[in-house]
Amino acid sequence: MAKFCSKCGSENDDFAQNCISCGSPLTISAGSITDTPEKKRLYLQGMMNLRYYTIVGFLALVAGIVLDFVFMRTLSYGYLVGPIGAAFGGVSLNTANVGALLVYSEITLIVSAVLTLIGVFMLYRGFAVLKSLDPEFSVGRTGAMLEFIGMILVVLGVIALLAIVLPSINLGSATTTASISPSEIGTLLGIALLVLIAAILLLIGVIMVLIGLFRVGSHFNNSLVKIGAILTIFLGIVGTILLFIGFTDIIKQLKKSIGES
C-alpha cells in the first residue's frame, strides 16, 4: 500500500522516508500500513477532541452573536427591542434599565467565555495527543495553552473593571453619572494594561492554533479542515462548521482503518 506526502500529496512507496517529489519527510498518515492500530486509536482520540472543540466553539460564537445583536439593536434604535425589550418593558434606553441591560450583557459574556474556555481545553487535549505522535502539532498545543491563559486573564480583567465601574455609576439621577476616585483611576489603568497584554497573548495563541489546525488538514490531506482554519479568521461560524465536517471525515477514515463503525 502506498502512502501520500502531507505537503504535496504525491504518492510514495510505503517504506519511503522522504517524498520522491518534494523531499519532505513523510509523516504518519491515517491510511498508511506503517501505522499500528494503537497509533491510529491515538489519532482518533485526538481528532475526537478537536471535533468537540468545534461543537463547543460554535455555541460560544452563537452566544457572542446574541450579545452583539442586543447591543447593536439597542444602540441603533435607542431603546430595548425584541425579547429583551419585552422583558425590560420595551421602554427607551435610560438610567432605569441600563443597569439591567449591563447585567444581562455581562451574563451573556460570561456564558460565551466559559464555553470558549471549555472548547479551548478540548483543543489543547486534542493537540497534546497529536503532538505525542508527530511534533509538527506542537504549535497547536502551545497555541491552545496561550489562548486558554489569555482568555482567563481577559475575562478576569473585564470582571474586575466592571466591579469598579458599575458601583460608581449613579442610576438614580436623571442623567447617568459616574464618580471614580483618583486611586480607582490608577487601578483601572493598571487593569486595562493587563487586559491589553492578555489580549495580545490571546491573539498569539489564536494564530498558533490556526497554524496547527491547518497542519492537521495538510497531514490528513483534508481540504475542508485547511479551508475552515483560514475562514475562521474572517467568518467564525462558517469556518467552525467546515472544521467540524472535516474532522468528522477524518474520524470516519480512522475508524474505518481500524475496523470500527
Q: 178-205: per-residue pLDDT in tens? A: 566 677 777 888 888 988 998 899 999 9
The answer to whether position 144 is within a domain reads yes
Domain range for 17 = 1-35
Residue 107 per-residue DSSP state: H
Confidence of residue 73 (pLDDT cuts 50, 70, 90): low
Domain count, the chain: 2
In a domain, 56, yes or no: yes
Q: Does a structural domain hold residue 255?
A: no
76 and 30 in a single domain? The answer is no
Give me the residues paired with residue 12 across strands.
3
The single-letter DSSP state of residue 136 is G
Asked if the structure places residue 260 within a domain, the reply is: no
Instruction: Tell whether 108 and 11 lie within a shared domain.
Output: no
Compute the chain's Rg from CA coordinates.
Answer: 24
Are residues 2 and 89 both part of a single domain?
no
- Same-domain status, 135 and 175: yes
Residues 15, 21: Cα–Cα separation, whole Å: 15
pLDDT tens figures, 85-132: 444 444 444 544 555 566 666 677 777 778 888 999 999 999 999 998
Helices (H) and strands (E) in the chain, counts: 7, 4
Contact indicator for 131, 141 with CB cutoff of 8 Å: yes
Instruction: Please tell me the distance from the alpha carbon of residue 190 to that of residue 43, in angstroms, as a whole number.
Output: 44
Q: Are residues 30 and 88 in the same domain?
A: no
Question: Rounded to two decimals, what is the model's pTM?
Answer: 0.70
The verdict on 17 and 92 lying in the same domain is no
Q: Please report whether residue 258 resides in a domain.
A: no
Asked if 135 and 73 sit in the same domain, the reply is yes
CB neighbours of 252 closer than 8 A, spacing ≥ 6? none
84 vs 5, residue with greater confidence? 5
State the number of CA atoms in the 13 A half-sphere of 182 facing the CB.
Answer: 0
Cell of 117: 474556555
And the C-alpha cell for 138? 506542537
